[in-house]
């Protein structure tokens, strides 16, 4: 993926983030003690989601109207992306 602007990739879990804020939100624990990346499941539970480009975002824009069909599509994209990452060994941090 092309990283431009504030987009970045975590060198720990290899996930892509749309912003530095999203990156920071996916880190948990105390520096030097128990700092780690959140799993995909934990990021979803915090309200984060993958955008159409495959970057984790902190939340969907509040004014966006999300239809049931769009929601299903987003979940299908997420499932496909996570499955592909797992198959390719890219999602090192995935836990069930």
pLDDT at position 83: 79
Q: What pLDDT digit, counting tens, does each position of 7-20 carry?
A: 999 999 999 999 99
Task: Give residue 61's pLDDT band: very low, low, confident or very high (50, 70, 90).
Answer: low
Task: Note the pLDDT of residue 96.
Answer: 44
Mean pLDDT within 10-39: 95
Please state the rounded mean pLDDT for residues 56-81. Answer: 71
Mean pLDDT of the chain: 83
Q: Which residues contact 60 (CB under 8 A, 6 or more apart)?
A: 49, 66
Distance (Å, rounded) from C-alpha 28 to C-alpha 6?
Answer: 20
d(CA 57, CA 23): 9
Distance of CA 31 to the CA centre of its chain: 21
What count of other Cβ atoms lies within 10 Å of the Cβ of residue 9? 14
Q: Where are the alpha helices (DSSP H) in 26-67?
A: 40-45
Q: Is the pLDDT of residue 93 over 80?
A: no
- Read off the tokens for 84: 């592909």
């Amino acid at each position: 993926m092309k990283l431009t602007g504030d987009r970045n990739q975590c060198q720990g879990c290899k996930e892509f983030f749309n912003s530095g804020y999203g990156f920071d939100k996916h880190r948990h624990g105390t520096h030097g003690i128990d700092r780690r990346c959140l799993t995909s499941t934990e990021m979803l539970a915090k309200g984060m989601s993958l955008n159409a480009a495959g970057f984790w975002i902190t939340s969907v824009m509040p004014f966006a109207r999300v239809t049931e069909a769009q929601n299903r599509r987003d979940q299908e994209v997420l499932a496909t992306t996570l499955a592909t990452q797992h198959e390719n060994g890219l999602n090192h941090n995935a836990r069930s």
